[in-house]
């Protein structure tokens, strides 16, 4: 079966013009299934957790024959000529992702906070990945999902204010020994260098995130302007 891209926009959660459009174009081009999830799988939505980590249930219910998946945040645009990312997957026991752009001290702090649940982990800030763009085999996703929800069930041992929302740090502890970094061109974290939009010519996948976006309003302005500059490339002739 074809590989699958899943993008969660639960309960019509904020979407931006150009993000979903770009993935639809790219998936059509490479014969990949695109699933945009607009409703929670369970009756209780747990922000960040059920948005992403119910993906295995979606796959088992709707796409039981697929073997590989890309899990993508809704604030990402993929360039029209991006190579097929699934071609980079050569080991089904690895997660393919890219480095996060957080500060070294901040990433180490979050890793230390969650360490009680992962005493054997040697995850470090130098290899801390962003959970907004993940590619892997379904078998590996199934195993990771089991460990992610085990971490959530034991979150009372994690004593800091973000313990309910931070699924990214547990993921880093879980996959520290099963990680392959994608080339930087495949996940450009558009946090700081967006003023001249030079990233359009420098990389293939643009993740519009981070505190410098100054909230969703500014993010919308940045994404809208970017899309106005590139929309013509996504028109089929």
Phi, psi of 34 (to 5 degrees): -115, 125
**Residue-wise pLDDT tens digits, 188-209:** 776 666 677 888 998 999 988 8
Nearest Cα to Cα of residue 55 among 19, 7, 2? 7
Task: Count CB neighbours of 22 within 10 A.
Answer: 23
Q: How far apart are CA 77 and CA 184, in angstroms?
A: 15
Task: State the pLDDT at residue 163.
Answer: 64
- Residue 197's pLDDT is 86
Q: Where do the structural domains in the chain lie, given as residue ranges?
A: 4-234
Task: Express as a percent the part of the chain with pLDDT over 70.
Answer: 92
CATH architecture of the region 4-234: Alpha-Beta Complex (3.90)
Pairwise CA distance, residues 132 & 15, whole Å? 15
More confident residue, 214 or 26: 26
Task: Return the pLDDT at 196.
Answer: 79
- Which pLDDT score is estimated for 115? 94
Q: Which range among 101-110, 112-121, 178-187, 222-231 shows the weakest confidence by mean pLDDT? A: 101-110
Average pLDDT, the chain: 90
pLDDT band for 181, please (50, 70, 90 cuts): very high
- For 98-137, where are the alpha helices, taking DSSP H only? 104-114
Q: Lowest-confidence range among 3-7, 139-143, 232-236?
A: 232-236
pLDDT tens digits along 103-126: 888 899 999 999 999 999 999 999
């Amino acid at each position: 079966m074809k590989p699958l891209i899943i993008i969660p926009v639960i309960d019509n959660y904020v979407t931006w013009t150009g993000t979903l459009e770009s993935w639809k174009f790219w998936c059509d081009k490479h014969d990949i299934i695109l699933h945009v999830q607009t409703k929670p799988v369970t009756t209780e939505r747990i922000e960040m957790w059920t948005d992403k980590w119910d993906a295995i249930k979606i796959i088992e219910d709707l796409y039981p024959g697929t073997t590989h998946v890309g899990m993508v945040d809704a604030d990402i645009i993929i360039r029209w000529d991006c190579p097929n990312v699934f071609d980079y997957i050569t080991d089904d026991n690895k997660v393919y992702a890219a480095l996060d752009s957080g500060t070294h001290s901040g990433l180490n702090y979050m890793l230390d906070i969650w360490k009680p649940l992962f005493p054997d982990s040697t995850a470090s800030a130098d290899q801390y990945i962003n959970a907004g763009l993940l590619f892997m085999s379904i078998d590996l996703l199934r195993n990771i999902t089991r460990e992610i929800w085990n971490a959530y069930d034991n979150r009372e041992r994690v004593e800091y204010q973000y313990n309910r929302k931070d699924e990214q740090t547990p993921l880093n502890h879980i996959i520290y020994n099963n990680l392959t970094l994608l080339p930087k061109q495949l996940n450009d974290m558009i946090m700081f260098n967006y003023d001249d939009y030079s990233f359009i010519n420098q990389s293939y996948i643009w993740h519009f995130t981070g505190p410098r976006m100054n909230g969703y309003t500014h993010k919308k302005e940045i994404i809208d302007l970017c899309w106005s500059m590139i929309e013509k490339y996504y028109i089929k002739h």
